[in-house]
Structure 1
Amino acid sequence: MTDRAAPDPEPEPGPDPAPSPTSSPSPSPSPDPELGERVRRLRRERGLTQRQVAEPNYTAGYISTLEAGKVRPSEAALRHIAAKLGVGLDELATGRSARLVGEVRLRATDARRELATGDAHQARALFEAVRADAVRLDLPDEEAAALLGLGDCALETGDLQRAIELFRSCEEVLAEAPLHHRVPALRGRATAHLLAGDLRYACYLLETAIDRLNASGLPDPEALVLLYTAVIAPYMDMGAHTRAAQAANLALSLVPRIEDPALVARMHRGVARTLIAEGRTEEAADHLVRAQEMYRRLQIRTELAHCHWMRGYVHAQVGELDRAETELRTAHTILVERRAELFATQVGVELGDVLRRRGRAEEAAELLTGLLERLGPEHGAVHAGGAHRLLGLLAEDRGDDTGAERSYRHALDLLRPAGAAGDMADLCRLLGDLLHRTGRTEEAITVYRSGLTRYAATGATTLGPAPQEPPV
């Protein structure tokens, strides 16, 4: 198939054709074959000859040399050629048009919406396409946005190692950007480590970022709120409740400067968790209602499920077990529909506790045993420990002391590497009581002492100094 417009004859092989002394730029020592191919393609698409593109300022031979990739034009030459071809200077120089960039950004928004309201697997395919186009067009910000979305998809589907890799890649793409641009990816990586059971490292990542942001003198409030709310969960799991409350209060103090409603909703969820630990369930419920309304308005289904999950926990804390079961089953249904397997499994552990307390022991045991097939040391270690703890309580209820001890020790083996100090202290109490009741007093004393001195003592979380507060 031939061009519609006949191009000027290509020069014979030999020395590069030189532009005229008065009208053509000097050849550059850094030719750009991709630019030359772009000029050739655009010229042919428009049915122009090399002479028509060149005149009146340049020669047809110069355009031929440029299209052959043997010369890099000056900015003046680029402007002339872009005007002749009817494209913007940036599109000609880089291959990126404002239209193409806009389309990539729009598709990234669509992918983010699919992740929030639809299916993480479908969102992953959309983010992959966005990433491919961003790499092809050399759009680092859009590539980073796609990597962040892919990391969030991996978190939702429970592929924690993949999530860590994607978030780290996002941070690498943004390595030259200010720290607050990298905070969402860093928060995602810390969350993946938390879910995998590496609580201390999750704290380290988040605390280090908080200190670096605050030390900059002009920290980004949204980045700080994202970090403060993210660090609440590992603090709580490690038994550092005072630090969790401090982080929640600092996040609350920054809310007037936050415009993102999803971030405000996440903050309310984090604050609610600290209030539950303090026994302030009515205040916690109020924060959860606010978060739930925001998530419902924004149609962010997974976060909405988390609100139902926490409300179920609040009801369980005050003995409203029927309402707790309803909320937890609602959360579980949403998460199963979204194929958020790890989160659904974690909710199942909470539901198992409610079923046990409602006297449905066989149903609870069957549920928890099935969940442990999907949980483990590097995949939901804290909740796996919680499931073994509940199975131990169920074994004690039916008089199976051997089975109860086995379950408690399994739980300790899972929680010890994770650093979940509060849960370990409780397990030491349960195991100590069991050993004492069965006449193994010396063993019981050792277990009690371990729980009191290693896990329940103030400052026993092995954390360093608390992060500094943001400057006024």
Structure 2
Amino acid sequence: MDSTAEDGDGIGRRLRELRRARGLRQQDLASDDVSVSYISLIESGKRTPSADVVTLLAERLGCTTGYLLTGQDGTRTRELELKAAFADLSLHNGANGEALQAYSEVLASAPVLPEGTVRRARLGQALALEKLGRLEAAVQALTMLYEDPKCVAGSAEWSQLATALCRCHQALGDQVLSVEIAERALRRLDQLGLEATSDHIQLGAVLVSCYRIRGDLAKARLVAERLIRIADDRGDRAAQQQTYWNAALVAQSQGQTDEALALAERARTLLVEGDNVRHQALLCGVYAMLLLGSDSGAPERARRLLERSHAQLVEVGTAAEQASAQSGIAMACLRLNQAAEAQQHALRALALLHDEPCRESVEARAVLAHAQFSAGESPRAQESLRTAATQLRQLPRARSSAAVWRRIGDIWQQYGYPAEATAAYQQALDDAGLPGLLTSTDRAAVPGGY
């Protein structure tokens, strides 16, 4: 009747305590299959009962086998299941801190929960860490789950883990690894020959984003077009929204503003009441920035959209997302000839970021400088632009940083500083991976010219 268990002493202690609480003697629990002496050995921790014996004793004591094995009853398990569901809802609604706390409380009682619930909570905990900006911790948790043999390739969990890992590595600046993870996962899906699901499409959408940020716009466009066809065929609204959104960003990076606006508008039409609030806010902000970059500009409408986006992000967004919205409002104010208001919004963006070197901080300083130049505050504007350039040099080179260098160069050029503009444009070419032309001095040093 003996078997191996993890908590033999605990079972014996709980058996003894519950028997005494019921006013029972050892012989009251005994039967033809379980002797009094055997019960005594269990209570003293010298024997570990088999599953059948645990079931028999639980019936006679009027408790659950789970309680004898773990000290927890079904009521506690149901409470934890409800807490996990609450954490899922909090994460969906952007209450990331609440979600992380709830998932952590669930995982503290992992031994009494079904394996599926534990894995769901671990995934939710990792996603909450990502959204809170604790990227290294998120990568560690996600990698552990992704590399677990129990994670089945092609499953919803597997796709979500691969997608989240790509996002985290991308945010950490490792574009090579983010692309590698996504490409390898999509090749695995092709090998499995599975019908595309919404989770698979989202994985592809992240690859589009990785290609775009790395500057592989041709690849990004090809994958985006393929994903749009798949999503449209499936009629999956969430997948369609994701693919149109990313396709809009690719078109914007290629300078095709009208196409980008049309794609972003299509993504917005797929939004419905009850969608993820954070996604709504981010998409609203993207559309507003596309409006600002279009020929018509529509700065007043763009400002209203950005203010709406910011109001939502205050509740559910990260500090970086809120700062980007503030910088966008500042840009709209500049288009409306409201330099003083533009400065206020740019300074709010910098305050949110605590002056940490990051792309959002650089962009906020650039728009601040533009507003300062516009207000006739040239010395302060020059200082802001030089600080932006210093911070930008600390970031990894990428096409996205090249675009910011171009913006800095345009501001120098607009306000009459050609040498500084040329240096910024050269840095933009370098970050985009394009070699600069030789100077006249360089050409003189080359035998025979070129």
Is TM more than 0.5 here?
yes
Q: Is 1:385–2:358 an aligned residue pair?
A: no
8 Å contact from structure 1 (residues 269, 291) kept in 2? no
Distance 1:114 1:31 in 2: 35
Q: 1:65 to 1:325 in 2, by over 3 A?
A: same
**Corresponding residue number in structure 2 for 1:228:** 204
8 Å contact from structure 2 (residues 103, 121) kept in 1? yes
Q: Quote how far apart the aligned CAs of 1:326 are.
A: 0.8
Q: Is 1:371–2:371 an aligned residue pair?
A: no
Which deviates further from its counterpart, 219-228 or 122-131?
Answer: 219-228
Structure of higher RCO (CA pairs closer than 8 Å, 6+ residues apart): 1
Distance 1:137 1:269 in 2: 42
Amino acid at match of 2:289: Y
Q: Within 5 Å, which residues of 2 pair with 1:72-471?
A: 72-85=48-61, 92-93=68-69, 100-117=76-93, 119-133=95-109, 135-137=110-112, 139-156=114-131, 159-161=132-134, 163-172=135-144, 175-178=148-151, 179=153, 180=155, 181-195=157-171, 199-215=175-191, 218=194, 221-255=197-231, 265-277=241-253, 278-279=256-257, 280-293=259-272, 296-298=273-275, 300-318=276-294, 319-338=297-316, 340-375=318-353, 381-397=358-374, 406-416=383-393, 417-425=395-403, 427-428=405-406, 430-431=408-409, 434=412, 448-452=425-429, 454-455=431-432, 457=434
Q: Quote how far apart the aligned CAs of 1:305 are.
A: 1.5
Aligned to 2:353, the other structure's residue is in SS state: coil
Amino acid at match of 2:320: L
8 Å contact from structure 2 (residues 402, 429) kept in 1? no
Q: 1:51 to 1:344 in 2, by over 3 A?
A: same
Which deviates further from its counterpart, 200-209 or 355-364?
Answer: 200-209
Aligned to 1:374, the other structure's residue is in SS state: helix
TM-score with structure 1 setting the length: 0.74
8 Å contact from structure 2 (residues 260, 290) kept in 1? yes
Which deviates further from its counterpart, 384-393 or 86-95?
Answer: 86-95
Aligned to 2:292, the other structure's residue is in SS state: helix
Q: Any idea what the Cα deviations from partners look like across 1:123-180, whole Å, max 9, x if unmatched?
A: 34323322222x3426554334334334444444xx423x431452254256232255
Q: Quote how far apart the aligned CAs of 1:371 are.
A: 1.5
Distance 1:409 1:84 in 2: 79
Amino acid at match of 2:330: G
Which deviates further from its counterpart, 49-58 or 320-329?
Answer: 49-58
Q: 1:146 to 1:213 in 2, by over 3 A?
A: same
Q: Quote how far apart the aligned CAs of 1:455 are.
A: 0.8
Q: Quote how far apart the aligned CAs of 1:333 are.
A: 0.9
Structure 2 portions without partners, runs of 5+: 436-450
Structure 1 portions without partners, runs of 5+: 1-24, 459-472
Q: 1:101 to 1:433 in 2, by over 3 A?
A: closer
TM-score with structure 2 setting the length: 0.77
Question: Among the aligned pairs, what percent are the same residue?
Answer: 20
Distance 1:42 1:262 in 2: 52
8 Å contact from structure 2 (residues 94, 317) kept in 1? no
Q: Is 1:62–2:38 an aligned residue pair?
A: yes
Q: 1:454 to 1:332 in 2, by over 3 A?
A: closer
Q: Quote how far apart the aligned CAs of 1:450 are.
A: 4.4
Amino acid at match of 1:172: M
Which deviates further from its counterpart, 143-152 or 385-394?
Answer: 143-152
Q: Quote how far apart the aligned CAs of 1:364 are.
A: 0.8
Q: 1:456 to 1:91 in 2, by over 3 A?
A: same
**Corresponding residue number in structure 2 for 1:14:** none
Q: 1:39 to 1:112 in 2, by over 3 A?
A: same
Equivalenced residues, count: 425
Aligned to 1:373, the other structure's residue is in SS state: helix
Q: Any idea what the Cα deviations from partners look like across 1:228-270, whole Å, max 9, x if unmatched?
A: 2233444433433333333433433443797986555444433
Amino acid at match of 1:37: R
8 Å contact from structure 1 (residues 31, 71) kept in 2? no
